[in-house]
């Protein structure tokens, strides 16, 4: 049923890097500085020994210094990947992970000064990486891990005080628009990705049947703890409708059309217990 | 909401607070002069900020940036600066520092601390960016001298002269990394006495100490060893010429148990006190 695999953040992933910039001193002649640093940067990123005439050390060749910078560049990105994808590293082993990381880094440079932004595309990369394709669940586990990583760093928002919801009169229930915490993500997969992920946590169980079918993972955060749990197809369908701006009435009607046994009250409370609701408004349209 | 411990750094030794020690520090509240954290780790809030704010209730905090790229040829990233401003508003750190380096050109980011030629053109460029950063933050920035593995033949002044001129033009302060100076002495033949003389003592707000590693004869600023004896000796010399300042032990690789880190801080503390007695 869940042949697709997709990361469904309730808000788009933060744009990496660059963004909103201003030129502070446009009159300033920066050409020489720019050109030397652009050449320096190229040598570092490509990692090719190039005889740059403008850098030197009295004690070793410039190539050695460049190599240190190149190694730092790749090492920092590799550490960032290992930090964001600890389960992938466990699944494939440290050596294979290093090889994967090298391949990934050669295709994906960094465009953010924060290393926590680096590595978003690893899931897609694993779908096309020939050696990694032997483990077809890797891309979805990577997407789950990236969602956890983003959830960990997502902006803080206080959870909704449910007492406020109880003040809404019954005839207004259908018009409630719930706001979802920025650390909330849904990842679905034809593989048991939640079981795979949990198996590689401390005290995880290693009894996994890869043929046991797909799972939908809900990622959320309460204060400083990221939670990963499996949710059912009807819960996911309904939450997705809410995330996409449907009010409770519209989300529930459309869910019941596909899943006649959907239980609204329990689903609402389950998500509330995970701190997924942050606020609500009332209205017929969002 | 989060009562600050203090808004000034005590003139004592502190440690760089890294993730492996968060739990132990908050659980045991060991005697630490102060702590420093990397600004970017807390951008956007999220789980890490909960920890930092809890730490902030017990210790003076200095925020140390590794990503502003003060000397980058690309325009300053205003989103990055806004995130730092937001963090400062919440944490109310005692000090905010950045490195004298660059990291972005033509949109390509190199997540490292890279050297650049110390030219007059670069000086005007960096000074204008420090002016802007200080105006946005509404506070003085400490600028840290860099450890380098190569120097640029087009440089027109030493790093010490460059920093002194930045202080004169912008009113910024200096974070004097003693290990970085030692690395540059060994890698690039920098004259340590000339550097110390060039630095205006009044502007120095903080010292850093760390351990390096060696690759093919090049000292690499890996922060993964204890402070070497030669760096302690240089620190003592710097203390004699500039005077005691809040001093930080940085340890970022092969991070040891907290007591090991605290023992390193104690060594710095003893040297600061000995310097005051003399």
- Nearest CA of chain B to the CA of A70: how many Å? 10
- Confidence (pLDDT) at A285: 59
Q: What is the pLDDT of residue A14?
A: 36
Nearest CA in chain A to B186: A59
Predicted pLDDT at B103: 98
Closest residue by Cα to residue B127 from B64, B169, B77, B67: B169
Contact (CB, 8 A) for A280 and A165: yes
Reported ipTM: 0.94
* pLDDT (mean) for B36-44: 93
pLDDT the model gives residue A8: 42
pLDDT at residue A207 in the model: 74
What is the rounded average pLDDT of the residues B3-7? 57
CB contact under 8 A, B125 and A30: yes
pLDDT > 90 in chain A, percent = 73
Return the closest-CA partner of residue B124 out of B97, B162, B81. Answer: B162
DSSP B37: E
Q: How far is CA B216 from CA B53, B219, B230, in A?
A: 42, 8, 19
Helix/strand/coil (H, E, C) string of A161-173? CHHHHHCCCHHHH
End-to-end CA distance of chain B: give it in Å, rounded: 43
Mean pLDDT, rounded, for A194-209: 85
Give the model confidence (pLDDT) of B167-213 as tens digits.
999 999 999 999 999 999 999 999 999 999 999 999 999 999 999 99
B chain contacts of residue A68, beta-carbon cutoff 8 Å: 149, 215-216, 218, 220
pLDDT band for A2, please (50, 70, 90 cuts).
very low
* Section A136-162 average pLDDT: 94
Q: How many CB atoms lie within 10 A of CB B19?
A: 12
CB contact under 8 A, A57 and B80: no
Nearest CA in chain B to A29: B121
Note the pLDDT of residue A224. Answer: 83
Is the pLDDT at A3 greater than 60? The verdict is: no
Provide the 10 A C-beta neighbour count for residue B227.
22
pLDDT over 70, % of chain A: 87
Interface test with A, best of B41, B51, B54, B73 (most A CBs within 10 A): B73
Q: Where are the domains of chain A?
A: 7-13+33-282
- Provide mean pLDDT across the span B30-57: 92
b/e B27-61 (16+ beta carbons within 10 angstroms → b)? eeeeebbbbbbbbbbbbbbbbbbbbbbebbeebbb
**CA B147, B149, B152, B158 torsion-angle sign:** positive
What pLDDT was estimated at residue B45? 79
Rounded CA separation B13/B265 (Å): 5
Give the minimum alpha-carbon distance from B153 to chain A in angstroms, rounded to a whole number. 5
pLDDT of A96 reads 96
pLDDT the model gives residue A9: 38
Q: What is the mean pLDDT of residues A159-177?
A: 92
Beta-sheet strands, E only, within chain A:
7-9, 55-56, 176-180, 185-189, 215-222, 225-231, 277-282
Examine the pLDDT at B1 and tell me if it is beyond 70: no
Instruction: List chain B residues with CB under 8 Å of A55.
Output: 150-153
Tell me: pLDDT of A20 over 50: no
Give the range among A126-135, A235-244, B104-113 with minimum mean pLDDT: A126-135
Q: What is the spatial distance between Cα A55 and Cα A52, in angstroms, rounded to a whole number?
A: 6
Q: With CB atoms and an 8 Å threshold, state whether B79 touches A20.
A: yes
CATH number, domain B13-277, options 3.30.390.30, 3.20.20.150, 3.90.1150.10, 3.40.50.2300:
3.20.20.150
Task: Judge: A33–B117 Cβ closer than 8 Å, yes or no.
Answer: yes
Q: What is the mean pLDDT of chain A?
A: 87
Q: How many CB atoms lie within 10 A of CB B193?
A: 10
- Who has greater pLDDT, A51 or B72? B72
pLDDT at B277 over 90: no
Question: Has residue B134 got a pLDDT over 60?
Answer: yes
Cα(A219)–Cα(A144) distance, rounded to whole angstroms?
8
Residue B220 has pLDDT above 90, yes or no: yes
Q: Which residue has the higher pLDDT, A212 or B203?
A: B203
Task: Encode pLDDT of B57-102 as tens digits.
Answer: 999 999 999 999 999 999 999 999 999 999 999 999 999 999 999 9
Residue A50 has pLDDT above 70, yes or no: no
Candidate from A20, A56, A153 with C-beta closest to B153: A56
CB contact under 8 A, B114 and A69: yes
Average pLDDT over residues A99-108: 96
Chain A hits for B22, Cβ within 8 Å: none
């Amino acid at each position: 049923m869940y042949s697709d695999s997709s990361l469904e953040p309730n808000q788009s992933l933060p744009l990496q890097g660059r963004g909103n910039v201003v030129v502070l001193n446009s009159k300033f002649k920066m050409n020489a500085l720019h050109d030397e640093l652009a050449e320096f940067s190229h040598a570092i990123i490509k990692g090719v020994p190039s005889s740059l005439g403008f850098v030197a050390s009295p004690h070793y060749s410039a190539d050695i210094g460049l190599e240190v910078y190149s190694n730092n560049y790749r090492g920092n990105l590799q550490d960032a990947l290992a930090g964001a994808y600890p389960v992938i590293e466990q699944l494939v082993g440290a050596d294979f992970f290093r090889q994967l990381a090298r391949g990934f880094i050669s295709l994906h440079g960094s465009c953010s000064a924060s290393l926590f932004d680096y590595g978003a595309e690893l899931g897609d990369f694993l779908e096309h990486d020939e050696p990694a394709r032997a483990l077809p669940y890797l891309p979805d586990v990577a997407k789950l891990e990236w969602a956890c990583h983003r959830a960990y760093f997502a902006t803080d928002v206080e959870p909704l005080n449910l007492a406020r919801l109880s003040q809404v009169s019954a005839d207004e229930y259908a018009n409630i628009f719930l706001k979802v915490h920025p650390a909330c993500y849904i990842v679905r997969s034809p593989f048991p990705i939640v079981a795979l992920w949990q198996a590689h946590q401390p005290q995880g169980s290693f009894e996994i049947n890869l043929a046991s079918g797909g799972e939908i993972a809900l990622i959320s955060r309460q204060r400083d703890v990221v939670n990963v749990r499996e949710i059912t197809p009807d819960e996911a369908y309904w939450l997705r409708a809410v995330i996409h701006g449907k009010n409770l009435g519209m989300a529930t009607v459309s869910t019941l059309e596909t899943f006649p046994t959907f239980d609204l009250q329990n689903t609402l409370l389950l998500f509330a217990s995970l701190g997924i609701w942050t606020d609500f408004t009332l209205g017929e349209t969002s | 909401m989060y009562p600050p411990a203090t808004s000034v750094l005590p003139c004592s030794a502190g440690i760089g607070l890294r993730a492996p020690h968060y739990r132990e520090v908050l659980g045991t509240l060991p005697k630490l002069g102060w702590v420093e954290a990397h600004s970017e780790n807390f951008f956007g809030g999220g789980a890490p900020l909960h920890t930092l704010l809890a730490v902030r209730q017990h210790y003076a905090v200095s925020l140390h940036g590794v990503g502003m790229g003060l000397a980058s040829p690309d325009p300053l990233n205003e989103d990055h600066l806004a995130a730092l401003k937001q963090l400062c508003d919440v944490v109310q750190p005692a000090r905010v520092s950045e490195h004298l380096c660059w990291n972005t050109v033509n949109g390509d980011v190199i997540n490292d601390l890279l050297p650049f030629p110390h030219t007059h053109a670069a000086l005007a460029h960096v000074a204008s960016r420090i002016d802007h950063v200080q105006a946005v933050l509404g506070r003085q920035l400490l600028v840290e001298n860099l450890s380098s593995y190569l120097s640029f033949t087009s440089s027109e002044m030493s790093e010490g002269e460059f920093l002194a001129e930045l202080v004169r033009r912008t009113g910024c302060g200096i974070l004097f990394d003693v290990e970085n100076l030692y690395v540059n002495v060994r890698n690039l033949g920098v004259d340590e006495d000339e550097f110390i003389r060039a630095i205006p003592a009044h502007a120095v707000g903080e010292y850093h100490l760390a351990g390096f590693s060696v690759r093919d004869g090049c000292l690499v600023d890996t922060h993964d060893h204890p402070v070497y004896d030669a760096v302690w000796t240089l620190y003592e010399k710097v203390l004699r010429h500039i005077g005691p300042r809040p001093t930080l032990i940085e340890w970022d690789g092969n991070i040891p148990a907290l007591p090991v880190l605290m023992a390193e801080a104690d060594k710095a503390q003893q040297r600061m006190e000995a310097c005051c007695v003399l």
